[in-house]
Amino acid sequence: AQSVTQPDIHITVSEGASLELRCNYSYGATPYLFWYVQSPGQGLQLLLKYFSGDTLVQGIKGFEAEFKRSQSSFNLRKPSVHWSDAAEYFCAVKLVRGSTLGRLYFGRGTQLTVWP
Amino acid sequence: EAQVTQNPRYLITVTGKKLTVTCSQNMNHEYMSWYRQDPGLGLRQIYYSMNVEVTDKGDVPEGYKVSRKEKRNFPLILESPSPNQTSLYFCASRETELSNQPQHFGDGTRLSIL
């Protein structure tokens, strides 16, 4: 079955520490890949996206993500976390072929807590 | 300013009382969709629409209806709401079904069904 997996439900890091949030997908072809962030009480904000080309993509707020085809992964990273990064993060994929081209499939989210 | 607008933002109501959550976008997008967000489950698609008068079910359509009479509007209708529909709802739009551009999301509607 097609799926998007975020294996970490909750991650806690200290401010200034590095961060990596994992995302794996299971689809036949490389989909379009996205990371969204949701701050408490807010909607979803796009952090970054990958369609093709350079497998390391830069996003807003100092985030980056690396697409690894061999591992079907699209992990989100940040070298130094700020307290304002505390939020919930969602990985999402959009298929590039098939009957449901328009749909976004979301992972279950990873809640990030940042200690001062 | 490009935006997706949902109303209401918050609603507390009772079981069985029909309600409609409106969604409007000002970007002339063809593709629109509705999601519900529940703790630990992420966002799940309820319905989507590829264009005017073209709608289809997502992953969790039971208990919901939609309509797409105009390009800009995509209301979500709960004919007989039940407590298991208490959730946070998001409307989203994209230029077209095939576009690789990300979806624009509304700010969300928090529904509580008592």
| Each residue's pLDDT tens digit, B75-103 | 999 999 999 999 999 999 998 877 777 78
Name the nearest CA neighbour of A108 among A40, A27, A36, A30. Answer: A36
Q: What is the CATH number of the domain that holds A76?
A: 2.60.40.10
Tens digit of pLDDT at every position of chain A (116 positions) = 568 999 999 999 999 999 999 999 987 777 889 999 999 888 899 999 998 889 999 999 999 999 999 999 999 999 999 999 999 999 999 877 666 666 788 999 999 999 98
Residues of A in contact with B102 (CB under 8 A): 34, 46, 49
The span from the CA of B68 to the CA of B50, in Å, is 9
Q: Residue A20's beta-bridge partner residues?
A: A77
Q: Which residue of A has its CA nearest to B110?
A: A41
Of the partner residues A34, A42, A109, the one whose CB lies closest to the CB of residue B102: A34
Pairing of strands A73-78, A19-21: antiparallel
Q: Which amino acid is at B9?
A: R
- Interface residue of B34, B36, B41, B43 to substitute, partner A, most A CBs within 10 Å: B43
> How many CB atoms lie under 10 A from the CB of residue A6?
19
**What is the DSSP-derived secondary structure letter of residue B39?**
T
Taking the CA atoms of A62, A68, A71 and A73 in sequence, report the sign of the dihedral they define.
positive
Contact assignment for A106 to B43 by CB distance below 8 Å: yes
Is some CB atom of chain A closer than 8 A to the CB atom of B75?
A: no
Q: Which residue of B has its CA nearest to A104?
A: B45
Q: How many domains are contained in chain A?
A: 1
Is some CB atom of chain A closer than 8 A to the CB atom of B103?
A: yes
The size of chain B, in residues, is 114
The span from the CA of B13 to the CA of A34, in Å, is 34
Task: Say which residues have a Cβ less than 8 Å from residue A70's Cβ, sequence separation at least 6.
Answer: none
Tokens matching residue A51: 């369609």
User: Could you tell me the residue range of the domain that residue A105 belongs to?
Assistant: 3-115
Of the partner residues B43, B90, B97, the one whose CB lies closest to the CB of residue A101: B97
Residue A40: alpha-carbon gap to chain centroid:
17
Of the partner residues B35, B42, B50, the one whose CB lies closest to the CB of residue A102: B50
Q: What are the CA-CA distances from residue A53 to residues A24, A59, A69, A96, B37 (Å)?
A: 19, 15, 12, 15, 32
